[in-house]
Amino acid sequence: MTSVLEWLFGTARFVPHGVCLLWRADLVALHVVSDIVIALSYFAIPGVIWWFVRRRPDLEPAHRRMAVLFALFITACGLTHVAGVVTLWFPYYGLQALLKGLTAVVSLVTACALPFVAPKLLRIPSPRALAAVNDRLQQEVVAHQATLAALETAHADLEHKVAEQVEDIRVLNSRLAAGLLNSPVTLVEQDEDLHYTWLFNPPKGVDAEALVGHVAADIVDEEAAAAVESLRRDALKAGEVREGEIRAQVNGEELWFLVRAQPTRLRDGRAGLVTSSTNITPQKRHQEHLRLITRELNHRSKNLLTIVQSIARQTAAGLDVPAAFLERLGERLGSLAAAHDVLVDGAWRSADLRAVIEGQLKHHMQTFGDRIDLAGEKIELAPEMAHYVGLAVHELGSNAVKHGALATPGGRIEVTWRAEPAGDGGRTLRLDWRESGAPAKPPPTVRGFGRTILEVLTPRAMAGEAQLNFAEAGVSWSLSAPLAA
């Protein structure tokens, strides 16, 4: 330990550095002032570096280590200058040499580390680059502020529009509620399992809130529930509106409903239905009443036809009138009565063409069975058309039995009809009567009333055209007439 101190502070064999300067006051003063100023500056710089590192916690570890090396290097340099001042009066050259050696080591480490840290330091943006980035950021801030202002304006407009739409919906709902309240229409919403999720204006005696989560069977009888659930499931499966009339027992009362099921999406996104059920019980009862009145009128009309037929027979009894006349008159009056029955079934609005033809050929079809073939689509005739088609088919059937295809064992009759598109956008009826296997007979030379019905009265009354042919195989008759829209 003594030898180390002697090496560091031994002065026996050395003279102070001032001796080398011959103790000239100007040189000594210049050395002292310069070294002290340099040392103080070197000691101040590490303090600034330390302050900077403490204020920049975001610096990378490599940058921090480099800052520490620079601080140590500069501090060591400052100590060497302090040692230079001391050795002017005290020859502690060992201590000065040790400080210079430490400074050399720190300098070397710093110099070796600097090439590795320099590329990272180069990536630190320059003030100009930072200023440019700052300018761009300022521009982006201004743009974002403008966008924010536009968004706030759009948000305000949207809130205003939403408020208007909410008010419109509220007014619409209040109008809907006012219109449906105490009306015969009930609205319900159901999920895909047909559980009620919402009901409005239910039938009298039914609690809407209590039925949420229930099914139709909890309101109506089992048969009606099965019918309405079948209709609703069909609407769900097809994705289309389905409607139908349902008779149901509600609170012990028989009611009729017109049910219309519309597929929709529920609030939670699941598939569901909105169904309107209109109580049509009063209309049904009125229709039934009208049906009874119409049937009574039909009964009285047929009685009147019977009276006409009876009067004709009684009048002909005292006159020279052929029996065939009375027979044909009775048959034609019967034809009118048959057409009348079909019109009654259609409430005098229309008559099904197949029903009209079957009504005229009913007795023949019972007698000759499958020798009479009927084929055609469903076509509704206006009431006045039904009477004339009935008369024409009656005449053709009577002629076939007496003179045509039904007068021989192998004869057949084929009656077909269809609706064809017309040039004016409407539809045209095409009715064909064809006989085959009829006995060979020459065409009639006398035009009777039956032929007049087929060739003149029927097509003229229906604003159409008709063609009657007497072929070798049998009679054929074609009718073409416009159908009512």
Three-state secondary-structure class, residue 121: helix
DSSP secondary structure string, 357-423?
A: HHHHHHHHHHHHGGGEEEEE---EEPHHHHHHHHHHHHHHHHHHHHTSGGGSTT-EEEEEEEEEE-T
The H helix count followed by the E strand count for the chain is 14, 12
Which contacts qualify for 286-292: CB closer than 8 Å, 24 or more apart?
287/347, 290/347, 291/347
DSSP state of 220: S
Which pLDDT score, from 0 to 100, does residue 300 have? 47
Interatomic CA distance for residues 218 and 210, integer angstroms: 10
- The torsion angles phi and psi of 469, rounded to 5 degrees, stand at -125, 140
Cα dist from 192 to 189, 228, 234, 240, 276, whole Å: 10, 14, 11, 14, 16
pLDDT score for 275: 83
Residue with tokens 């020798």: 371
Contacts for 244 with CB less than 8 Å, ≥ 6 apart = 227, 231, 258, 259
Is there a contact between 10 and 94 (Cβ–Cβ < 8 Å)? yes
pLDDT of residue 432: 94
- Are the C-beta atoms of residues 476 and 469 closer than 8 Å to each other? yes
How do beta strands 412-421 and 372-376 pair? parallel
Q: What is the C-alpha to C-alpha distance for residues 239 and 195, in angstroms, rounded to an integer?
A: 18
- For domain 285-482, the CATH superfamily is Histidine kinase-like ATPase, C-terminal domain (3.30.565.10)
CA atoms within 13 A on the CB side of 2: 0
pLDDT for res 4: 54
Residues of the chain with pLDDT under 50: 296-297, 299-300, 303-304, 307, 314, 326, 343, 346-347
CATH 3.40.50.11270, domain 183-279, yes or no: no
Backbone φ and ψ of 190, nearest 5°: -135, 150
pLDDT the model gives residue 216: 79
Helix 61-86 with 25-55: angle, nearest 10 deg? 160
Give 262's strand partners.
274
Amino acid at 103: T
Separation CA 327–CA 360 (nearest Å) = 16
* Distance in angstroms (rounded) separating the CA atoms of residues 365 and 372: 6
351-352 vs 271-279, strand pairing mode = unpaired
| Distance from C-alpha of 104 to C-alpha of 90, rounded to nearest angstrom | 23
| pLDDT (0 to 100) of residue 434 | 93
pLDDT, residue 92, reads 77
- HEC assignment per residue over 309-347: HHHHHHHHHCCCCCHHHHHHHHHHHHHHHHHHHHHHHCC
Residue pair 69/110 in contact (Cβ under 8 Å)? The answer is yes
Q: What is the DSSP letter of 113?
A: H
Q: Do domains 183-279 and 285-482 have the same CATH topology?
A: no
Helix (H) or strand (E) holding 20: helix 17-20
Q: Where are the domains of the chain?
A: 2-122, 183-279, 285-482
Which pLDDT score is estimated for 310? Answer: 53
The C-alpha angle 420, 423, 424, rounded to 5 degrees, equals 110
Give the distance, in angstroms, between the CA of residue 194 and the centroid of all CA atoms in the same chain.
Answer: 20
| C-beta contacts of 231-237 below 8 A and 24+ residues apart | 231/259, 231/261, 232/190, 232/194, 232/261, 232/273, 232/275, 233/194, 235/261, 235/262, 235/263, 235/273, 236/192, 236/261, 236/263, 236/271, 236/273
Model confidence, pTM: 0.40
User: Tokens 């600034």 map to which residue?
Assistant: 48
The residue type found at 378 is K
